[in-house]
Each structure stands twice: as structure tokens, then as C-alpha cells.
Amino acid sequence: MPETDEPPLPDIPTPELEGWETDSTADTEVSAWSRQDELSKARHENTMMIHKTVKWIIPTMLILGALMFLAMSGVYVAQILLPERCRWLSPEEIQQLHSILFSSFVGGAIALAGKTYLDTPSGKSN
């Protein structure tokens, strides 16, 4: 055997084998197979709960967004129609509000057009 400059390997301790029969991961896994239907049902119920939650969160957010858009539009129109002495926003703030409203409107129009033209009709698949 050729000699090397590496130090000798340390002695590897003998593993402790006491109690391995009662703490087997494989036994735990095998016992879980009998609960497969129960686990599958729980997973299905969790998935349905997520779907139900998302089902009311998305419309709520859409309604809140629409209300905010209407409120901002009302403020913008009021700032334009009211006499100078009754306005509470500076011209820079009005311009900022205008850019927010315009970008929201254009973004909504693009999303609606995309949904209309890119969405597959119900009942038909590619």
C-alpha cells in the first residue's frame, strides 16, 4: 500500500441499536397507509376551504377597488368643476390624481379586452 501524508481515519463509533424496533420510520409509514382515505378527505376539505375563501376575497377586492376608483374620480371631477376658492388640492396633486385614474382606467380596459378576446368560451376546449 502506498504511503500518504493523510492522517489515519478516526475510529467510527458503533451505533446505538437499542429501541430501534419500536421507533421505526417505516412502521409509521406503513401504519399511515391504512389512513389513506382519511388523509385524502382532509386534503380535499382543505383545498375546498381555500377555494371558498378565494371565492369571496376576489369579488370583495374588486368591489373595494371599484369604490376607490369612483371616489377618486369624484374628487377629480369636483376639483375641476369647483371654483378655485373651493378646491383643496394643489395643481400638482390634481395632476397626480389624473395620472393614477388614467393608468387605472387603461389597465382595466386592457385587462377586460384580454379577458374578452383571450379567454376560451365555456364548454369548449382546445
Examine residue 18 and state whether it is found in any structural domain, yes or no.
Answer: no
Could you give the CA distance from residue 97 to residue 11 in angstroms, rounded to a whole number? 75
Examine residue 80 and state whether it is found in any structural domain, yes or no.
Answer: yes
Who has greater pLDDT, 28 or 1? 28
pLDDT at 8 over 80: no
Phi, psi torsion values for 51, nearest 5 degrees: -60, -40
Who has greater pLDDT, 94 or 17? 94
Number of domains in the chain: 1
Residues 6+ apart with CB under 8 A from 13: none
Domain that holds residue 42: 36-115
Who has greater pLDDT, 113 or 98? 98
Dihedral of alpha carbons 103, 104, 108, 109, sign: negative
pLDDT tens digits, residue range 97-112?
899 888 888 888 888 8
Examine residue 11 and state whether it is found in any structural domain, yes or no.
Answer: no
Could you give the CA distance from residue 5 to residue 125 in angstroms, rounded to a whole number? 70
Could you give the CA distance from residue 4 to residue 2 in angstroms, rounded to a whole number? 7
Q: Global pTM?
A: 0.51
Examine residue 2 and state whether it is found in any structural domain, yes or no.
Answer: no
pLDDT tens digits, residue range 60-78?
888 888 898 889 889 999 9
